Chains A and B, each alone.
Chain A
Amino acid sequence: MFSFKIEKYLLVISFLSIILIYGCSKKLPMDKQIGFDSITLLNQDSSQVVFPDEYKNKILLLTFIYTNCPDICPMTTHNMQLLQEEVKKDNLKNVQFAELSFDPERDVPSVLKEFGDIRNINYNNFTFLTGKEADVKKILNNMDILALPGDTTKTESGNVYFFTHTDRIDLIDQNGRIRNEYRGSKANIQEIIKDIKALED
């Protein structure tokens, strides 16, 4: 009789905790820990950025680009700029923006800087990242980002190639957990801002 009571009690407790856990995390659809630590990358000024350590205790919007991209990546970058403006307007503190190149061979820091400068990027809380090919690959694999180089096209001054690639922005919380992902080039700015606000609470 007594043990039956305890069982009932435990049942109620576990039920309550399920509801509690569900209630807390249901705001955001994902909760996946980034599976690597302390990878040293370079930013657009050739300064070292240790990833993801640099973004601990911060909310991070991370996307993946290559600067030779004429259509999709500029759209995504423009959306990141719109998000940056919106974050400022809404006075949301502690939000960082980063774009990691999946084409480190061509996207050296100076190339990333030029890509940012020509778009008037506000580097306050916006960073372009590149790194050693093996390090970048490790991040891409872990975050399920595909970037497949296509055929090479010959031009007067040399060759050029383009990528078939994942079109995504990831939302990473203060503990380095991926909490949502969005289509980068067609991102819904207000939806992302809402998610950032949910993480701030």
Chain B
Amino acid sequence: MRLVILEDYDQASEWAAKYICNRIIQFKPSQGRYFTLGLPTGSTPLGCYKKLIEYHKNGDLSFKYVKTFNMDEYVGLPRNHPESYHSYMWNNFFKHIDIDPNNAHILDGNAPDLQAECDAFEKKIEEAGGIDLFVGGIGPDGHIAFNEPGSSLSSRTRLKTLAMDTILANAKYFDGDLSKVPTMALTVGVGTVMDAREVRTHLVLVACVFSRLVGIDTGIESKETFVLQVMILITGAHKAFALYKAIEEGVNHMWTVSAFQQHPRTIFVCDEDATLELRVKTVKYFKGLMHVHNKLVDPLYSMKEN
């Protein structure tokens, strides 16, 4: 993994936004060749979204050829409820950028058949060719998306009942009234986010070579061998213990973010406060690597140059 440590929330948000910006631009998305992005909600990524919007408004970044897949959505909350994740994404991101609404995918927590909705979501991800960059956060109980402690590390998109820790953490968005917080959600699984691109890439390569040989159009999106990347944003002292459990202890289904220790390409972006429970040795090592990490965001590319 890479552990990228910035001084404070604003700097961490900016680093993450620059990273996303560079990945999209370097991918050179175009008609028929979309960059797929997995997206989180909550208070942690707000700063990152603001920076991305800024890059867009400056003309440096377009989301025209970007497809997005959100990680989760509450069950039973009306879609236009101010606390639904649809509202969150619209107000904090979609309404400020130029993404095609057909390419913005969020689970429907009011679907008549919730498991079918989850299966369809997995299929959409597959049809999009997998996810190029999955951006996530971490709960105070170490969960990724709504994969609460005890979730299988091979899980796929499904319905989950929220843990008390999560309900308590979310109460602030519902006037502090625990009874108003939804108790269930649809969420991508740990396995969904862990999905290794190598396998998929292999199949796609075979299909592309075959179609070229035979001279037919299989309609399969052809991409370079581009391995799936995961980026986890963690800021604030209240997340410090979860970060410690996620990266300094073993892989454990009680701290589901720890599953990413087994992913070939994971970046944890955090601020100083989030490192408070880590060993000094860990922090020093990764801080020492910042000059390497910073090559990922400097130079910051712009679509104006194309």
Partners in one complex: no
B contact residues vs A (CB 8 Å cutoff): none
